[in-house]
Amino acid sequence: DTGVSQNPRHKITKRGQNVTFRCDPISEHNRLYWYRQTLGQGPEFLTYFQNEAQLEKSRLLSDRFSAERPKGSFSTLEIQRTEQGDSAMYLCASSPQGAVYEQYFGPGTRLTVT
């Protein structure tokens, strides 16, 4: 399967703990995006990378959130000192060069903060 993959699929953590999610994009795609989706809402943009460079971050991305894509392949999203409001589906997507409108999503990581 050459689609976008995300791990873990589910994560339950206690408030105050740190969590890290991983995304592996489609191999030939140089752009990688992170979104957050809560129940009854569409995905909301968090940040994106072109190769290893992080080019934009949303206001939604507080200082507790950090994302990396060290070698321009997979990416990680870390949330420090989790809060109950961080409970959501975290989605990763990738797109080919020059085709931002053609984003392919992974299955998501569902985070529950207790």
Residues in the site for other proteins, rule: CB under 8 A?
A: 4, 6, 40-45, 48, 55-56, 58, 91, 93, 100-108, 110
* Cβ distance to other proteins smaller for residue 81 or 100: 100
The residue among 55 and 81 lying less far from other proteins, judged by its C-beta, is 55
Distance CA 67, CA 36 (A): 13
Minimum Å distance from CB 61 to other proteins?
A: 12
Amino acid at 58: S
| Min dist. Cβ of residue 14 to other proteins (A) | 22
- Of 18 and 38, the one with the shorter C-beta distance to other proteins is 38
42 burial level (CB within 10 Å; 0-12, 13-18, 19+): exposed
Q: Identify each DSSP E strand in the chain by its residue range.
A: 5-7, 10-13, 19-24, 31-37, 44-50, 53-57, 65-68, 75-79, 88-95, 104-105, 109-113
| 74 vs 105 by CB, closer to other proteins | 105
Distance of closest approach, residue 42 Cβ to other proteins, in angstroms? 3
- Backbone torsions φ then ψ of 39, nearest 5 degrees: -60, 130
CB of 81 to other proteins, least distance (A): 26
